[in-house]
């Protein structure tokens, strides 16, 4: 899968994960404090080092702007900006709840040793998330990969494996 296709896939995975949180209500004050939250992932694609950087850049009247950048061998190869509904903004509370409700989503609790430390995660297939949230994507995600949900900003994802490529959190920041 080329970089732009992979970026779109990651964006859709994150959208599926965000959908889990539709039951929560957020205040504008709490949401605006999330500007500056960031997460970075590293991995290898076709034996090339690659990384993914995502951050919240701007909040305005119920929506958050999220910037995603995809790098291969240190060079940016794709950039995507998305405006998210306020209910899709990941907070410390919702990231923790996602792991806590793991079994209800069809996942399995698993400790991972990540570059940022040992973390309790929820291992779940993208197909399981799509079945729970978006029936229309069920077939597209049947063999899409595995996500390890965790207590991290912007995505709520600790690790992901897609098409044989493994990405792990290497850096994150909660704007407090």
| Helical spans, DSSP H, in the chain | 3-19, 28-32, 92-100, 126-133
Q: What is the pLDDT of residue 119?
A: 95
pLDDT beyond 60 at 14: no
- How far apart are the two ends of the chain, measured CA to CA in Å? 36
pLDDT of 106 over the 80 cut: yes
Asked if residue 27 lies in contact with residue 59, where contact means CB atoms within 8 angstroms, the answer is no
Residue 152 has pLDDT above 50, yes or no: yes
Is residue 33 predicted with pLDDT exceeding 60? Answer: yes
How confident is the model at residue 134, as a pLDDT? 38
Whole-number Cα distances in Å, 5 to 15, 35, 81: 15, 27, 15
pLDDT given at position 30: 66
pLDDT digits (tens, 9 = 90+) for 37-95: 999 999 987 888 889 899 999 988 888 888 888 888 889 888 888 888 887 788 888 88
Structural domains of the chain, ranges and CATH numbers in brackets: 3-173 (2.50.20)
Give the CA count within 13 Å in the CB-facing half-sphere of 100.
7
CA pair distance 1, 125, nearest whole angstrom: 19
Instruction: Record the pTM.
Output: 0.77
């Amino acid at each position: 899968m080329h970089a732009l296709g992979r970026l779109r896939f990651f964006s859709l995975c994150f959208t599926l994960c965000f959908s889990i949180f539709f039951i929560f209500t957020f205040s504008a004050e709490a949401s605006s404090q999330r500007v500056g939250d960031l997460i970075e992932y590293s991995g290898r694609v076709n034996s090339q080092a690659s990384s993914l950087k995502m951050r919240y850049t701007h909040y305005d009247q119920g929506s958050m702007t999220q910037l995603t950048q995809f790098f291969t061998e240190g060079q940016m190869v794709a950039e995507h900006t998305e405006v998210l509904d306020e209910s899709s903004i990941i907070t410390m509370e919702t990231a923790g709840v996602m792991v806590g409700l793991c079994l209800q989503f069809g996942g399995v609790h698993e400790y991972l040793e990540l570059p940022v430390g040992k973390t309790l995660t929820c291992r779940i297939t993208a197909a399981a998330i799509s079945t729970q949230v978006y029936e229309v994507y069920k077939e597209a995600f049947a063999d899409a990969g595995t996500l390890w949900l965790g207590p991290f900003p912007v995505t709520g994802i600790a690790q992901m494996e897609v098409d044989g490529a493994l990405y792990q959190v290497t850096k994150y920041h909660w704007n407090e």
